[in-house]
Amino acid sequence: MKLKKGIPVIDQGNKLGFWGGKFGGNFVPETLKKPIEDLEVLFNKLKKDKKFIQERDKYFKNWIGVPTRFIKLENLSRHVGGAQIWSKVVSDANGGAHKVYNATVHCLLAKRSGKKVIIGDTGAGYAGKMLSMAAKKFGLKCKIFMGAKDIARQQPNVKAMKKNGAEVVPVYSGSQTLVDAVSECMRFWVANCDTTAMCVGSTVGPAVFVRICGWSTSQISRELKVQLIDEFGSIPKKLKLYNCVGGGSSSFGFWNEFMDYDKKQCEFIGIEAGGPAKSKKHAAPLTYGSKIGILHGAAQYVNQNSDGQIEETESISAGLDYPGISPLHCFLKDTKRARYTAASDEQALEAYKLVTRFEKLRPSLEPSHAFAVAISESKKLSKDTIVVVNSCGDAYKDRGILEKRLGKKYVKSN
């Protein structure tokens, strides 16, 4: 299995949509074949269309507010005492997370295809919040599927969705988290694909959704590349990019523009959710060597039992609480371009405490997982190593959990 140079990774799949010949594809009911093919045709055409790119960039700039900041975490670096720790503050983006890029692009595509309704899944609530925002902006009706457990633990985002006029549909099946929300959203699409557009909230799902999402979030690394050159004159000799991985959309977007660099110069580190330290359950299929299987239309490494039933996950972070992982990351793992590891709930909370103690930055629980590993590895790295952590979400949505686990002071003081 080989990663090709000079070709965007999203376009390295084969005719049937498999990366590396085995990850991804389109394991979908017959009913969805046609709408998926229509979306593929539209996307392949528009991604080469200068006018469409201009339109996208216009909304990214004027509405999302790109570029997001690239800042040095001076105090944290000094405290840790190793590599220089920087952050790409993607949570600056309108709405407070990277999910806004994919949501915007899907709404633009939906408009072009003449659809009046757009549906989407959400775990942490950011994908849903952003889709509801974008749908409102572009005059589309919006329906968001969300696990009942996530509705309870991510209330600020649920309120935001409702305020934007979206209908939030609670999903009570299975573990009542993201995996069930995606399933229910796909079911709704099966029944309504003639009138409705679907947005998948991460680089997961049938191949075209993986590609659209990766294409959209790549905005992050396009900006970062420019910002690195502005800051250092060139791409640093020792660069390490840390990103949490749920479905894999922020990490993929954070890395994409650096894909062709040698990994000795530019290393990618993906951090999955290890779950509570005491629990056997986790949401880290790459770290713990889960077997390849099919989930939500794509072949990927996925937590499952020997019969092929998808296993329940557990994580403090709703956004990472997913048993599968993008086919793109399976591909990056097997070609050894990226390295994957996990952080536990407790480690993420500790990292959140440390970051907020030293910096004016409030990473949500998802990027706190990435900070945990970045901080611990930075200790052993040289001063000329540039560590960049994607702070891809804001902790406002986690106030309830943070207050419960860490006490009021961590919610108020920032």
Contact flag: residue 387 with other proteins (CB under 8 A): no
Residues in 169-228 that interact with other proteins by CB under 8 A? 173-174, 179, 183, 186-187, 190-194
Q: In what order do the strands lie in the sheet with 167-171?
A: 167-171, 141-147, 117-122, 196-199
Residues in 283-302 that interact with other proteins by CB under 8 A? 291, 293-297
Minimum CB separation from ligand PLP for residue 413, in Å? 21
Residue 364's binding partner out of ligand PLP, other proteins, none, with CB under 5 to 8 Å set by partner kind: ligand PLP
Bridge partners (DSSP) of residue 242 are 269, 389
HSE, side-chain direction, 13 A CA sphere, residue 51? 2
Distance, CA of 344 to CA of 100 (rounded, Å): 27
Residue 28's binding partner out of other proteins, ligand PLP, none, with CB under 5 to 8 Å set by partner kind: other proteins
The packing angle between helices 30-46 and 207-217, to 10°, is 30
Q: Which of 104, 250, 315, 356 binds ligand PLP (CB under 6 A)?
A: 250
- Of 194 and 230, nearer to other proteins (C-beta) is 194
- Of 144 and 338, nearer to other proteins (C-beta) is 144
| Contacts of 49-53 spanning 24+ positions with Cβ under 8 A | 52/108
Q: What are phi and psi of 390, to 5 degrees?
A: -80, 110
- Of 38 and 57, nearer to other proteins (C-beta) is 38
Q: Which of 1, 4, 29, 260 binds other proteins (CB under 8 A)?
A: 29
Residues in 372-411 that interact with ligand PLP by CB under 6 A? 392-393
Contact flag: residue 262 with other proteins (CB under 8 A): no
Q: Which of 3, 107, 110, 124 binds ligand PLP (CB under 6 A)?
A: 124
Residue 379: partners with Cβ closer than 8 Å, 6 or more residues away: 80, 81, 82
Bridge partners (DSSP) of residue 88 are 70, 390
Q: Is 406 exposed, middle or buried (0-12, 13-18, 19+ CB in 10 A)?
A: middle
Residues that bind other proteins (CB under 8 A): 16, 25-35, 173-174, 179, 183, 186-187, 190-194, 291, 293-297, 304, 306-310
